[in-house]
Amino acid sequence: MTERLVVIGGDATGMAAASQARRRRAAGELEIVAFERGRHVSYSACGIPYWIAGDTDGPDSLVARTAAEHRKNDIDLRLGTEAVAIDAERGRVLSRDTDGREEWTGYDQLVIATGAVPVRPPIPGVEAAGVHGVQTLDDGEAVLKGLDREGVRRAVVVGGGYIGVEMAEAMLRHGLDVTLVDGAEQPMSTLDPDMGRLVRDALEGLGVRVVSGSPVTAVLTDDGGRARAVATDDEEFPADIVVLGLGVRPNTALAADAGLPLGSHGGLLTDRAMRVRGRETVWAGGDCVEVLNLVSGTLQHIALGTHANKHGRIIGVNIGGGYATFPGVVGTAVSKVCDVEIARTGLKESQARAAGLQYVTAVIESTSRAGYYPEAAVMTVKMLAERGTGRLLGVQIVGREGAAKRVDIAAVALTAGMTVDQMIELDLGYAPPFSPVWDPILVAARKAAGEVAERAGRR
C-alpha cells in the first residue's frame, strides 16, 4: 500500500527530508505532499545579507532547487499553502491556501520543518512601513525596494547578533550612515564580552555607530506612518530604513497546539533519529527543534542552516527505510562584517559557568600568515579549557582573512573530546602564505595548557 508523507515547511529541513525520502522510496511506495506557506522553496536565507550588499545575485540564485524541480521529482509541493492544524491523534493536517480554501490531508509520516520566527519586540511602531525583518526572500526584496527610495541616507539596525552585523555591512555597502542599536553589553553576544568588544571596535572602525546596552523602546513614525527614528530610553536615532536582527525563536505554535512535546527553549523535543519524542510517525528538525550541546550536555535552540540540512537528510533517510542519527552540536558558527571575520565554537564563559564547569581562559594574538609574509593579518583567539582535565571547552576568534574557518579545527577537537595538551600535538599544515609555523589555534592551546597546569599546581 502507498504510504503518505506530509511535510510542513518547504525550506532546508523540509525539502531535504522530502528529497532524501524520495531518493530511497519511489512514488508508488511513498506519496509526498509538502506544504509551504511562502512563494519560495529550498532557498538560502543565509545569502540574503550578501544579496542585499550586492555580493550575490538574487533571489533566483539563492534557490537551490525550484518548485518545478521538486515536482518533477514526484513531490506534490503546494506553495502558498499554510498548515493551520495538526491532528496528531488521527494523523492528519489541516491546510489553507491563499484563497482561504481549507482541506484535511491524512499522513502516515509527518515532518514538521516550520523553522523559526524572527523576534519582534512588542514596542510601538515595530510594524510600521520602513521596518524590515530579513527572514525570507520576500523580505530581501522589500529591503532592496526600501533602499531604492529617494533620500534614504540613514539606516538603523536593531540587534547586534550575526544577522545584525551582516546587515550593518549591507547597509554600509549602500553608502548609508549606519547605527547599530543593541540591548546587549557588546555586539555578537554569542561571544564573550571581551571578544564582542573587538567586533564593536571593528564596526566602529568601519564607520558604524554602535550603541550597546540600550534596548529599543519604540520606532517613531512620521505623519504617513513610516518609520523615521528608533528610540531607546536615552536617545532617538533618525532612520530612513530600519532593519531588525533580533534573533529568532522556534516556530512551534502549531506543534504545541497539537500537544507535541516542547523543551524549555520552546523547540520541539526529538530523539537522535529526529523523531518527535513519544510519537512514532512524527519527525522534526531544523530551527523548530532543540539540539543537544555535546560540550555542555544541555539542550539548546541554535538556528543554523548547517543543522537544518543535516536534520532533513537524517529524517529522509529514516523515513526512506535507512538509519541515521544526529548526535548533537558543538555550537560552531562563523560570520563577518566587511573584512572582519568572527567565529565561535563550544562554550563561552557564561555557558561554561551555567553548565557548572570550572575553566581557564587563554587569549592570544597571532597572525593569519607568517609575520613576514605580505598581508599577514592579526587575529585574536580566545580558548576555554576545563580546569583539572584540560578538556577543550570553547574557542572564539576575531580577525581578518583566514581567521574564521580556523574555528573548524577547534570544532573537530571539541567533537573528539580533546584536551588542550593533545591539541598542541595536532599536525596542522604550515607554509608562510597560510599560517605562522605555530598556527594561532596551537598558540592558544599552548597558552591554555599552561593555564591548566598552573591552576593544577595551585590545587
Ligand X SMILES: Cc1cc2nc3c(=O)[nH]c(=O)nc-3n(C[C@H](O)[C@H](O)[C@H](O)COP(=O)(O)OP(=O)(O)OC[C@H]3O[C@@H](n4cnc5c(N)ncnc54)[C@H](O)[C@@H]3O)c2cc1C
CB of 426 to ligand X, least distance (A): 25
Asked if residues 455 and 362 have their Cβ atoms less than 8 Å apart, the reply is no
Count CB neighbours of 372 within 10 A: 9
CB of 93 to ligand X, least distance (A): 9
Looking at the Cβ atoms of 332 and 435, the one nearer to ligand X is: 332
Q: What is the DSSP letter of 269?
A: P
Asked if residues 394 and 346 have their Cβ atoms less than 8 Å apart, the reply is yes
What DSSP string describes 90-131? TTEEEEEETT--EEEEE-SEEEE---EEE---S-TTTTSBTE
Looking at the Cβ atoms of 34 and 229, the one nearer to ligand X is: 34
Interface pick for ligand X out of 6, 35, 52, 340 (rule CB under 6 A): 35
- Print the binding letters for residues 194-233 with ligand X: x by CB under 6 A, - otherwise: ----------------------------------------
- Print the binding letters for residues 49-68 with ligand X: x by CB under 6 A, - otherwise: x-------------------
- Print the binding letters for residues 101-140 with ligand X: x by CB under 6 A, - otherwise: ------------xxxx-----------------xx-----
Residue matched to cell numbers 534557490: 63
Q: Which residues share a beta bridge with 391?
A: 419
By CB under 6 A, is residue 11 in contact with ligand X? yes
CB of 14 to ligand X, least distance (A): 6
By CB under 6 A, is residue 9 in contact with ligand X? yes
Interface pick for ligand X out of 7, 147, 210, 254 (rule CB under 6 A): 254
> Burial of 392 by CB count in 10 Å (0-12 exposed, 13-18 middle, 19+ buried)?
buried
Asked if residues 286 and 273 have their Cβ atoms less than 8 Å apart, the reply is no
Asked if residues 44 and 129 have their Cβ atoms less than 8 Å apart, the reply is no
Cα distance between residue 46 and residue 64, in whole Å: 12
Q: How many residues bind ligand X (CB under 6 A)?
A: 33
By CB under 6 A, is residue 287 in contact with ligand X? yes
CB of 191 to ligand X, least distance (A): 16
Asked if residues 341 and 403 have their Cβ atoms less than 8 Å apart, the reply is yes
Provide the annotated active-site residues.
46
CB of 187 to ligand X, least distance (A): 16
By CB under 6 A, is residue 22 in contact with ligand X? no
Question: In one letter, which amino acid is 445?
Answer: A
Tell me, rounded to whole angstroms, the distance of Cα 61 from its chain centroid. 20
Question: In one letter, which amino acid is 323?
Answer: Y
CB of 403 to ligand X, least distance (A): 16
Q: By CB under 6 A, what part of segment 157-176 binds ligand X?
A: 163
Asked if residues 76 and 10 have their Cβ atoms less than 8 Å apart, the reply is no
By CB under 6 A, is residue 305 in contact with ligand X? yes
Binding site for ligand X (CB under 6 A): 8-14, 35-38, 45-46, 48-49, 82-83, 113-116, 134-135, 163, 251, 254, 286-287, 303-306, 308
